[in-house]
A and B are shown apart, each in its own frame.
Chain A
Amino acid sequence: MKTRSIPYFYVSPAFLILGLVVILPFLYNLVLSFSNMNLTHFRDWDFVGFKQYGKVFSEQIFYIVLLKTFIWTAVNVVFHVGFGVMLALILNTNIRFKNFWRIILILPWAVPQMITALTWRGMFNYQYGAVNLIIKKIDGFLQGIFGIFSTADVGNIIEPVAWLSGEATAFIACIITNVWLGFPFMMIVALGALQSIPKSLYEATSIDGASKFQQFRHITIPFLKPVMMPAIVLGVIWTFNNLNVMWLVSNGGNPSDKTHILVSFVYKAVFNHYRYGYAAALSLVIFLILLAIGWTMLKKTNAAKGVAE
């Protein structure tokens, strides 16, 4: 009995902190989701049952923002994993200056998210942003080439984009920023997995006449999968809940409050509109969506299974 109680004693501080910073706020949020807490009922709120949940599901905006959140998450994670694995494969070869490339590629992850997001916001400015300046340079180059074959004025071949003024382009700008921020994590995870694959497997299969593609399909992917799957689950949860990038690049949902994912929408409901009860209900809905996604992914992919199981 005494031996059994020692581990509990050791982990009790962690459980205590977890209880205070996660479980207690979660329960408080749950309580608030059944309340009418808002500007006028801030200190004297009452229970109103499922009214706030009813409001969440009856408003069209919820479904629009939910769809955007799914698109945001899917596109980001696909690019994070795609670029991450591709770069890891390159870094796992005998390229020159490997350490230099590794440091350069980790940099987007090392810079604080807030700084990166604001920098990208500046880069997307129509007039002075680096993105449009590059587009203008490319346009000038293309005009030069086409001009050789034509005597008439070629005109602009590609136009600068008003990234932050349009609903779709602002959303794309946020995605580009988050792809930039997210691929190094996947790259590092994939690189770790690649380095753990025994070289002898490649040597043996190449003696047996396997092509590079066959080696990739039958050795690399199976070894990458158990490591990448938990990282992808994490990536989905982080991206789904990534307030910073969406909020900072779109400057709080601009243009026209159209650039939102669920978390930024909740943030606005609480801190701009003082709708505490409504936002608590919506955040519980977000939690349940994420729980369902995470649970399904873990079950389907066996991502939480131990190596020895």
Chain B
Amino acid sequence: MQPAGREVLQSALDEFMTENPEIICEQLYFETEELRSNFQISVLGGSGPDLVYGPADQVGPFVTMELIHPLDSFYNDDFLAVFVEASKVRYNGNLYLLGDRVGNHLTLVYNRDILENPPQNTDELLAMSNQYSVDLDGDGMIDQFTLVFNYIEPFFAIPFLGGFGGWVMNDENQPILNTPEMTNGMAFLAKLKTENVIPRECDYDIANSLFKEGKAAMIINGSWSWGGYLDAEMNIGLAKIPKVSQTGKWPTPMVSALGYSININSTEKRLENSIKLLEFLLQSEIQLRFTEKLNTIPSHKTALKNPQFQTGMLKASADQMSVGKPMPVVPEMRAIWDAMRPHYQAVLNGSLTPKEATEKMQTDAEKKITEMYE
């Protein structure tokens, strides 16, 4: 959760404690990866926080490791009915995470001071490099780029891969990374680099810095980042990631919920309090407070009726979300990310062809999934 989000959460917790003086709530923040490992270890040791907040894809590993309670028996249908379906994260038929926001998806953000109209398709995007990837100081190296995104992480490649018709796994949770569609998607991503649309090296921080410094016309980033751009008084616009010209399909960012699960070690009075707190935190009014600070899309249907979701950035975000695909929550996804990452990077630095890379991704993903379960 971003610092601004943590402030909102703390104010909500303070309110809850005022209403329930017998309950003491403490907020503890960790980065996503650290949170997962710390939560696993603390639950194994018989303790851990009563509520754990994070992205939906942590549900699969947490359920497989028996770290969280199924929530179905704690909340009745009437209570659950007020939330959009995407926010109720199920695994093996049971509800394990209740999201206070949906989306968490990537969108195209553009700097209106550099670019008036964002590209509508990938052909336009490639053509823009002549105009927007330029050497400003005449030292022979490009200083301003058409597009930036974190291309260390395959999560940021998923929209384009989906736009070419590829996807990471089938309905049986098996990897499908070596399809012609995935290979074409990889080839396109490599082309973005060879055509100088994107920089030669770019991780998340560099992409963000370049965009904030006005050295990139566009960035692919998630809703968590927009607040920072607005705070920096940037004149930004949001648009759908451009349609893939070859296939006529929209890129498909992964869409997921962010929300709360209850620790399996939370029992009796603590469990009772956790259920109560979770109910409190999911209220429409509190979700809108997060929206105000972080431009998030709430999960509560009443909150979604708010006029702010019918215009501007939030409308654009919802439009992008409408063409996205749900992020798989099964543990196999972790193996797939790890299998994709090195070979995706190898395609971008030219040491593997797209075809070789997708073959290796598939082999590695199958091997890692086997290792996870052996």
Which of A's residues lie within 8 Å of B, judged by CB?
Answer: 36, 38-40, 42-43, 122, 125-128, 136, 160, 162, 164-166, 251, 253-258, 270-275, 278
Contacts and interface: CB of A to CB of B under 8 A. Distances in A.
A40 B346 contact: no
Contact of B33 (A253, A255, A271): A271
B43 to A, nearest CB: 9
Contacts of B341: 254, 256-257
Which 5 pairs from chain A and chain B are nearest by CB? A256-B342, A42-B65, A257-B342, A126-B201, A165-B349
Contacts of B199: 126-127
13 contacts: A38-B371, A39-B65, A40-B372, A42-B64, A125-B206, A126-B199, A253-B342, A256-B345, A271-B37, A272-B334, A273-B334, A273-B371, A274-B65
B28 to A, nearest CB: 18
Given A39-B331, A272-B334, A255 B372 contact: no
A274 B139 CA distance: 47
Contacts of B331: 39, 274
Given A125-B201, A127-B142, A257-B338, 6 more contacts: A39-B65, A42-B67, A43-B66, A273-B338, A273-B372, A274-B61
A162 B335 CA distance: 28
B230 interface: no
Contacts of B152: 251, 254
Contacts of A125: 201, 206
Interface residues of B, number: 36
A165 B202 CA distance: 10
A128 B374 CA distance: 44
A164 B203 CA distance: 11
A254 B141 contact: no
A257 B334 CA distance: 15
A274 B203 contact: no
A166 B200 CA distance: 12
B79 interface: no
Contacts of A43: 44, 65-66
Contact of A42 (B40, B206, B334): B40
Contacts, number: 91
A166 B341 CA distance: 15
B44 A273 contact: no
Contacts of A273: 334-335, 338, 368, 371-372
Nearest to B65: A42
B74 interface: no
Contacts of B37: 270-271
Contacts of B205: 122
A40 B349 CA distance: 36
Interface string B125-166: 000000000000001011000000000100000000000000
A157 to B, nearest CB: 13
B201 A162 contact: yes
Given A43-B44, A43-B65, A127 B338 contact: no
A132 B141 CA distance: 11
A165 B201 contact: yes
Interface in B327-373: 331, 334-335, 338, 341-343, 345-346, 349, 351, 368, 371-373
Given A136-B139, A271-B33, A255 B345 contact: yes
For B33, B66, B142, B345, which residue has the most chain A Cβ atoms within 10 angstroms? B345
